[in-house]
Each structure stands twice: as structure tokens, then as C-alpha cells.
A and B are shown apart, each in its own frame.
Chain A
Amino acid sequence: MEKSEILSMFDDLLELDAGTLKGDESLAELNWNSLAIIGFIAMADEKYQIALSPKDIINAKTINELIGLINN
């Protein structure tokens, strides 16, 4: 689970150019809406076979915190 690999998946999810996100971005300043949350849950399921809970996702404030949900 390379961080750069996960970051580029978030770039994709948020329709940003590859390599845009670094991890410390605040979700409140990105287009982090329910479509993005659903996309993230799907990504975690498909690529990492991890079941994420929406409650944990909603508590995250930055991209790094979201990455933490996959890496833990």
C-alpha cells in the first residue's frame, strides 16, 4: 500500500490531476462530498478488501487521516 499509489487514487476520486495531492490537505477545502465518500468505500473494498465505516470516514479531517483508515 504505497502512499503515492493511494494518493493518486484520491486524485482520481476528486477529479484532480495525478500528483496534485500530498496528504496534508483538509477535506473541507476539497470537493469531499458523499459521491467521493462512496467512491472511497468502493476503492477500499475493491483494491484492499477493507470494509470502511462511513462514521470513521466522516470523522477524518485530512487526506492523511483517510489514508490512515486503510493502512491500519
Chain B
Amino acid sequence: MKGIRISGIASAIPKGKRTLKDDEKIFGIEETTKISSSTGVKTRYIVKDGECTSDLCFTAAKALLSQLEVPTSSIDALILVTQTPDYILPATSCVLHDRLGLSKSCITFDVNLGCSGYIYGLWLAANIISSGTLSRILFLAGDTISRLISPSDRSVSSLFGDAGTATIIEKTDDESSQMIFSLGTDGKGKDQLIVPAGGFRYPKMQKTSERSMRKDNNFRSDEDLYMNGPEIFSFSLREIPPLINTLLDETQWSVSDVDAFIFHQANGFMLRHLMRRLKIPAEKFILALSEYGNTSSASIPLAMTHDLSRRITGKETIKLLLSGFGVGYSWGGVTIKCGANLVLPKLTILD
């Protein structure tokens, strides 16, 4: 798709910091060191009671709109990608519509995706703008996965962090601006990354909140997030290298043409393995999970807030490759060529 550009990206995190010292209190020094050297996570930021996804996304949106000097009346649509909405209903994008003071003609909706969510949101926004009806979309992506974690489940407890992000995507006269997408799904993976209880298939009841030792030697309830590390790793190795190679072929780029690769910040071990397998030079591969953990749908834009600026200064156009994959299973990738005048406000902390 041509004539579409990303004008800016902003991110916000909560104040509450968790470190390895906090993990050591639960798992001990030896276990914590082992886990952290595999996941690559050293710190992450966690919401406290009363702090929700919309608060994080609102904070990021305000920072972005202010720096871009975009009037709220000019926003044609608001798309929110989240797996941790403020309410079951109404859509959290409607809640944000009110808080941001958007116009009545603004179209808003939520999309329930995680790891692949940012790619899907970009795809939706790009398609909507391409169809000619709308010009400027505010795309928010954020999650408070920490609310779904059992603190004594070592497979997830020290991995996830919270964050909210905002991206402005709009029509541009610059025809050299383009995005090429490749997306996919395999619902067979639905049980490998799941919160089993609390929806309507398996409603909440007394027993669903009771934590117990499970087959994988971790302690959680059916209302807590379950993640099957080996299956998800195996899935990533199966689907992601072909996805990236397909994208590069379709865009007619080689790895060396790309200025920066930004993957969903799932897990350090897996990312480093994929980086080696795809022969991506380390200096082009953005890693942010050491500081923020795995922030679900926010992880790709947060990584860009974290470390894209210095890579694009002095350039006229930039070439990026983004890829998100996981829960669902759902996956996607996009190559982006656009002007290097991308606005990247500094990371904001939730007040």
C-alpha cells in the first residue's frame, strides 16, 4: 500500500518498577538468575490498582498529539488493540473517545489481539486509509498483562510488563511511502497461550480462582495466564523465518537494506535465536525487553520509542521491518518505507 505514512509513535509506562531483587524474594537467587539470563528481562513496569490500559494509552496519545500538533477534531478513527480492556463492554476505545474529546464522526473500535496486535492494527489502519474514506487514524495499542499473572508461576511472573502506546497513521502525498504486509493465523495453537477461565466458555467460579501446582511445576489458577514456552518457541521457528523471507522477497529488499528490525519483544532467548537464524546483524535488531519485559501489544511501538531515534537521524527515508507473533496463534509482519521525519516523543511515565 502506498501513500500512507506513520507520522509518530509515543509510549507510556506505569511508575511501579519490578526488578530481579523482587523476583529473588519469591524464587531465590539461583532460579531468578537462570530465568533472567534466558528471558533477558531485568526490569519491567507494573500497574497498581486503579491504573488501566486506557490510562496508559491516553497518556501516550496526549504526548504524541501534543508534539505532532494534531487537533483532536482531525482524527477520523481510533483503533485500540488490547487483550486487557478496561471493561468487558463498552469498548475501551469509546472510553478513550470521551477522554480525548474526539468528534462524533470519529469511528472507534477495539481489537482483541496481543503479540501480533500492532501489525494487525497497522494493517487495518493502512487498509482503511487506502480505501480512500479516512485520512488520519489514531492507533493505540496497550496491555496490563501483569493483572493476569500468578506471582508464583516462574514461566511468566518475571517476564511481562505493562505499557500503552499511540501511533498516528495518515495519508501522505509522498508516493514513495509504502507498507507491505503478510499476516497469518493458526487456531490450533489456541491452548498454548491462554487465560482459560473468566470468559463465557469457562465462567468464573470459586474453583477457577484457586491456585494450585500444575503439571508444568508452576503454581497458578485457571484465571491466570498459561503459557507453553516450548510449543510457542517451536511455533515461532516454524512460521517466522518463512514469514520474514516472504516479506523481504515481496518488498525486494535484502536484510542489508533494512535500517531496523523490530520484533515483538516476547523473550530474549527466542529473539536472539531468530536473529541468528535470519542472519540479522545485532546492531539492526532492536531489543527493549531487558528494561520493560514483554508488554504484549505495546512491545513493538515501545521498542521504537526506546531505540529508533538514533538510528534514523541524518536519513531522509527509513526502511523498517516489524513482526509480531504469538497468542492465537496469530502472526504478521510489515515492511515500512517512509520519511525519516517520524516524530518519537520521549517515553512518558503514568502520573
A residues with a Cβ closer than 8 A to B are: 33-35, 37-38, 41-42, 45-46, 51-54, 57
Contact of A34 among B230, B237, B276, B277 (CB under 8 A): B230
Q: List 16 A-B contacts (CB under 8 A).
A: A33-B217, A34-B155, A34-B229, A34-B230, A35-B38, A38-B38, A38-B270, A41-B230, A41-B233, A41-B234, A42-B233, A42-B269, A45-B273, A46-B277, A51-B238, A54-B228
B residues with a Cβ closer than 8 A to A are: 34-35, 38, 155, 216-217, 228-231, 233-234, 237-238, 269-270, 273, 276-277
Complex CA–CA separation, A54 to B234 (angstroms): 7
Q: With A33-B217, A34-B155, A35-B38 in contact, is A45–B231 under 8 Å at CB?
A: no
Check A53 against B155 for contact (C-beta < 8 Å). Answer: no
- Give the interface centre of B155, B230, B238, B270 by most chain A CB atoms within 10 Å: B230
Majority secondary structure, A binding face: helix
Contact of B276 among A35, A38, A46 (CB under 8 A): A46
CB contacts (< 8 Å) of B228 on chain A: these are: 54
**Beta-carbon nearest neighbor of A55 in chain B:** B231
Contact of B230 among A45, A46, A51, A57 (CB under 8 A): A57
- Additional pairs, 6, CB under 8 Å, beyond known A45-B277, A46-B273, A46-B277: A34-B229, A34-B230, A35-B229, A38-B38, A41-B233, A54-B231
CB contacts (< 8 Å) of B230 on chain A: these are: 34, 37-38, 41, 54, 57
Majority secondary structure, B binding face: helix
Complex CA–CA separation, A53 to B235 (angstroms): 9
**Beta-carbon nearest neighbor of B192 in chain A:** A54
CB contacts (< 8 Å) of A37 on chain B: these are: 229-230
Check A51 against B229 for contact (C-beta < 8 Å). Answer: no
Complex CA–CA separation, A38 to B269 (angstroms): 9
Contact of A41 among B35, B237, B276 (CB under 8 A): B237
Check A45 against B237 for contact (C-beta < 8 Å). Answer: yes
Check A38 against B229 for contact (C-beta < 8 Å). Answer: yes
CB contacts (< 8 Å) of A33 on chain B: these are: 217
Closest chain B CB from A54 CB (angstroms): 4
Complex CA–CA separation, A53 to B217 (angstroms): 20
Closest chain A CB from B35 CB (angstroms): 8
Complex CA–CA separation, A9 to B35 (angstroms): 20
**Beta-carbon nearest neighbor of B227 in chain A:** A34
Complex CA–CA separation, A4 to B38 (angstroms): 26
CB contacts (< 8 Å) of B38 on chain A: these are: 35, 38
**Beta-carbon nearest neighbor of B272 in chain A:** A42
**Beta-carbon nearest neighbor of A49 in chain B:** B277
